[in-house]
Amino acid sequence: MRLWAKRGALAPVPGSKPTQIEHDSLRRTGRALRELRAKGQDHEWLEAILSYIKDIGDRSNPSVRRGLRDLAEGKLQPA
């Protein structure tokens, strides 16, 4: 759980001791794992799912959302 939280696949509840995981991130990850099991035990597929889940989390960050909006509006140039 800690490794997945470190990788961004699971979102810890801020300030919780011991660490607790936010329900929505646990549900998303559980759904992704069920899909993975249906497709077989493919390590590359698992890595892709973890990256996708992290991307979803990153895109929910307000500063990232503003940056993507500014990029779409032509206010920023891609790096």
Q: In the chain, what is the greatest distance between 2 CA atoms, to the nearest angstrom?
A: 44
Closest CA to 22 of 73, 56, 45, 71: 56
pLDDT in tens, 20-70: 999 999 999 899 888 877 876 677 877 888 888 888 888 888 998 898 899
Q: How many CA atoms lie within 13 A of 13 on its CB side?
A: 10
Cα distance between residue 38 and residue 53, in whole Å: 18
Residues 32, 41 contacting (CB under 8 angstroms): no
- For residue 77, pLDDT over 80 is answered with no
- Model pTM above 0.85: no
